Amino acid sequence: MRFVNKKTTELSVLEKEEICTCYAEVFEGHVKPLLDFDSQYLNTCLGYSFHTLLTTDEDEIVGQYVVVPFKYFYKGQNMLFSFGADFMIRKDHRNDFKNVMGLCGESLKYSKANGVKCIFAFPNDLSYLLNLRVLRMKEVGKLHTYILPYKVGDAKPALTRLNIFSKLFCVMMLWLSKFDGRSQHSETLIHRDRSSFNDTRYKWFNPEEYKLVEEKDFTCSWKCTDFDGVKAAFLMDVYPLSAKNFNRAVRKMFDAEKNNVGIFLYVGELSFNPISMIKIPLKYAPKNFNFVAQILDRKEVSADDVFNINNWDVNLSSYDLL
């Protein structure tokens, strides 16, 4: 068995197809078309991602770990804080622990050698322990979910008769939110380089699914998708992030999608309580959005800073969790 490091731009079409085939075998029921592969891993701040491949002695690809680079500002310095994605090993090679640990270790060395200071991820509950025990991640926290239950019956069919009341309640919330004048905003300690982020992030997968609003003093984005069998609209990002702008974004999303969906959501960390949405306590959240990270350069990046979720500019747009 061998480990091979390559940038996306160095992979041949045949290698990409092998990786996509491996993906379909490992993540049963899921596929990654070649177009999605390219759109996700080439549309980055560097124009490529970092791939560590596990191959047989006959050069067959049976595993991969990808690190997707993002530019973040940390204490005023522009650094690579990158996303760890698609850790996979085909079942017939998974029992050899050297393959698992070797793939992880080689990827971390490759990433660090290319200037990555920190790797973060959002594992689901099934892969959460894998991230902690094998990929050597540590928990940053769990992202909160905020909801505007316009048609409560969409989430709970037994409550369909209450839709008229939930509609009135939500319309009242949105009306009241117009009077929220909290316009103060400040950058978190660890925040995205917006120029490179905006240039690349919404070119992933199916770009037409992202709804973008770009105005002189404000931008926001959302996406409509099925969530646990319920058609929902997810507010993905708001910038600059203030209570006033957040409420404004929710109203824009609502006006655009109220005839198509009945549930409106936001997943992320807010330093304020919005009037336009209700914060769901973590123990009642419909899904755990786990947030983990690993520091690769401890000389430049502090653990106290990284493992405090309030220091991060983080939400669904940080990576497509849907």
CATH 2.60.120 fits 144-284, yes or no: no
pLDDT band at 156 (very low <50, low <70, confident <90, very high): confident
Per residue in 274-286, pLDDT (tens digit) is 999 999 999 999 8
Q: What is the mean pLDDT of residues 224-249?
A: 94
**Helices 243-257 and 163-177, packing angle to 10 deg:** 140
Q: For the purposes of burial, counting CB atoms within 10 Å of the CB of 308, is it exposed (0-12), middle (13-18) or buried (19 or more)?
A: middle
Helix (H, G, I), strand (E, B) or coil at 55: strand
Q: Which CATH superfamily is domain 2-142+291-318 in?
A: Gcn5-related N-acetyltransferase (GNAT) (3.40.630.30)
> Is residue 321 over pLDDT 80?
no
Q: Please state, as a whole number, how many other Cβ atoms lie within 10 Å of the Cβ of residue 206.
A: 10
Is pLDDT above 90 for 186? no
Q: Order of strands across the sheet with 144-148?
A: 210-215, 218-227, 230-239, 263-268, 144-148, 278-280
Cα–Cα distance, 106 to 54 (Å, whole number): 10
Decide which of 70 and 206 is more confident.
70
pLDDT band at 213 (very low <50, low <70, confident <90, very high): very high
Handedness of CA 44, 223, 74, 247 (dihedral sign): positive
What is the location of CATH 3.40.630.30 in the chain? 2-142+291-318
DSSP 162-195: GHHHHHHHHHHHHHHHTT---------SEEE-HH
User: What pLDDT sits at residue 135?
Assistant: 86
pLDDT tens profile 248-283 = 999 999 999 999 999 999 999 999 999 999 999 999
228: left (phi over 0), alpha (psi -120 to 50) or beta: left
Q: How sure is the predictor about 318, in pLDDT bands with cuts at 50, 70 and 90?
A: confident
Q: Which residue has the higher pLDDT, 28 or 266?
A: 266
Q: What is the pLDDT of residue 140?
A: 97
pLDDT at 126: 87
240 preceded by a cis bond (ω within 30 of 0): yes
